[in-house]
Amino acid sequence: MIKPNELEPLPEPGQGKRGKDGYLGYLLRQAASIYRNRVDHALRDLSLTQPQFSVMTMLNAYPGHSSADLARLALLTPQTMSVIVSNLIKQQYIVRHAHPVHGRIQVLQLTESGQQMLSTAKQRVYAIDNEMTRSLSETDEAIIKNWLSQMARS
């Protein structure tokens, strides 16, 4: 029986030290997975998943965009985004409207209850975020943010 702490950061014992490469991706995956676990857990009783929260956040920041727009933003296929959007519509957190000019595009918007839900969810998620940065100095945080957003842009 293994307790998690017994073998954490997984330095790959039998393979010789690998100082730089490979290691950072593993850590990123691990950290993101733990972050995701916490977010999922914090949103569970709201019946909100992390991708749903993410879509609502995007829609709040950039209202009036379509499912295809969101798919591009999140680097997902239109079909996948369509499922997430459908689930949000089912929960009545967002609504579809016909595009004023373009006859085919369905423009999305947060509903009243969607905004309330997002606000509640944000409080919990931001609490987790704050916990994450608590031990960081200003400069270190800037370095990390810089690196992460550089990755996100590429």
Please tell me the total number of residues recorded for the chain in this structure: 154
Residues found near its own copies in the complex (CB under 8 A): 1-5, 7-15, 20-37, 39, 50, 54, 57-58, 60-62, 65, 68-69, 72-75, 122, 125-126, 128-130, 132-133, 135-136, 140-141, 143-145, 147-154
Q: How far is the CB of 132 from DNA (least distance, A)?
A: 20
Largest CA-CA distance found in the chain, in angstroms, rounded: 63
Contact with DNA (CB under 7 A): which of 87, 109, 111, 115? Answer: 87
Contact 95, 66 (CB under 8 A): no
Whose tokens are 């949000």? That residue is 88
Contact 121, 43 (CB under 8 A): yes
DSSP H helices in 75-111 = 78-90
Does 26 contact DNA by CB under 7 A? no
Contact with DNA (CB under 7 A): which of 4, 9, 13, 103? Answer: 103
Q: How far is the CB of 144 from DNA (least distance, A)?
A: 23
